[in-house]
Structure 1
Amino acid sequence: MTKSMNNLVTSLPEAAQALQALGQALFASAERSGVPKRTLFLAYLRASQINGDSAGVELHSRNAIASGETTERLLALPVWRETPHYTDAERAALALSEAATRLSDRTHPLAGGIYDEAARHYDGEALATLIAGIATANLWNRLNVASGHTANAGIG
């Protein structure tokens, strides 16, 4: 794919800085509220896979590995429902990530108990952190895909 514009960091440095600050705030909140980094990276990676964002897939895969994630679990992520590799809390986060990423696929994206199941595993700040993090990953995915940035493009 041909790049359609310059890197977001050079085109809109204030926006890029704000998004980086948001990411840092979300990771600080995750640490306070007990959401494991590995869970966040899995949720972000799943959103990036769904959105076809190669830069996000590469970034979140690398970050997941750095946080102790296994290759086996990363390879099974696209079929997480059919594997025994994830905890119930991780499954709830992945279902939430998919639902929040595919908002237009259903009339009520969080129907079927998706939100309630996530709330069973993550309370208050933890659930808010997870939802805000998924939304932020989706924003980066859309920026990367819409501007033609791919893996190794220096943004994500």
Structure 2
Amino acid sequence: MTARMPNPAAVLGPEVLPSLLKVVGAVKETGVPDTTLQLVYLRASQINGSSWNVNQHSTALKAAGESTERIFNVAAWRETPFYTPEERAALALAEAATRLSDTVDPVSDELWAEASKHYDEKQLAALLVATGISNFWHRIMPTTRQPAELPAQG
């Protein structure tokens, strides 16, 4: 696959990409474990079919020492024993916020209550912003056909 254009955030100017990365940095400072955030990013990427993002986040999880079982099974997280209750709550919230049009009440009170058991308000905000920024990238990368990158050989 050949990209239709460079990354649109880079095309807009040198201040755009660093601004977006500042949002990601703010999310990281909330106490939500980076592994949980990467799982959320990966799951949203899978739902949206964004190969560039799936590659990016699965590679990040692997580099962080995550097992292949946890990386490979994110799409089936409900049916596997590989995730903590906190991670399950985060994945459920991310899925619901990514699939807003799939149901009338995508983020039910029950789902919200479960996530609230594991995360405080700032961390819930971080999970929602992480999901939102992830979905933002999922609109840009596939539309411009940004190819997944092979890891550097070394």
TM-score by length of 2: 0.89
Q: Distance in 1 between matches of 2:133 and 2:75?
A: 20
In the other structure, the counterpart of 1:136 is 133
Mean Cα displacement is larger for which, 6-15 or 72-81?
6-15
Tell me, yes or no, if the aligned pair for 1:38 and 1:68 is still in contact at 8 Å.
no
TM-aligned CA deviation for residue 9 of structure 1: 4.3
1:56 corresponds to which of 53, 67, 84? 53
- Matched residues in 2 for 1:22 and 1:141: separation? 16
- 1:19 maps to 20
Q: What stretches of structure 1 of length at least 5 have no aligned partner?
A: none
Distance 2:109 2:124 in 1: 17
Which amino acid in the other structure matches residue 68 of structure 1? Answer: G
1:43 and 2:44 aligned: no
Aligned residues: 149
CA deviation after TM superposition for structure 1 residue 112, in Å: 5.8
For 1:54 and 1:43, how far apart are their aligned partners in 2? 15
Letter in 1 for 2:3: K
Deviation at 1:151, TM superposition (A): 0.6
Partners of 1:24 and 1:118 in 2: how far apart?
22
Following superposition, the deviation at residue 16 of structure 1 comes to 1.8
- Pick one of 94, 99, 108 that aligns with 2:96: 99
Question: 2:23 is aligned with what amino acid?
Answer: L
Cα separation, 1, equivalents of 2:59 and 2:2: 24
1:50-75: per-residue Cα shift (whole Å, max 9, x none)?
10111111111111122231111111
Hey, what's the Cα distance between the residues in 1 that align with 2:40 and 2:130? Answer: 9
State the alpha-carbon separation in 1 of the partners of residues 134 and 72 from structure 2: 20
Following the alignment from structure 2 to structure 1, what is the Cα–Cα distance between the partners of residues 36 and 10? 30
CA distance in structure 1 between the aligned counterparts of 2:21 and 2:44, rounded to whole angstroms: 18
- Alpha-carbon offset, residue 10 of structure 1: 3.3
Q: CA RMSD in A?
A: 1.6
Cα offset, 1:89, TM superposition: 0.7
CA displacement at 1:148 relative to structure 2: 1.4
State the partner residue of 2:73.
76
TM-score, normalised on structure 1? 0.88
Confirm or deny: 8 A CA contact 1:8 1:16 kept in the other structure: no
Q: Return the letter of the residue paired with 1:116.
A: A
Q: State, as a whole percentage, how many aligned pairs show the same letter.
A: 46
For 1:3, the equivalent position in structure 2 comes to 3
SS at match of 2:82: coil
Amino acid of the structure 2 residue aligned with 1:6:
P
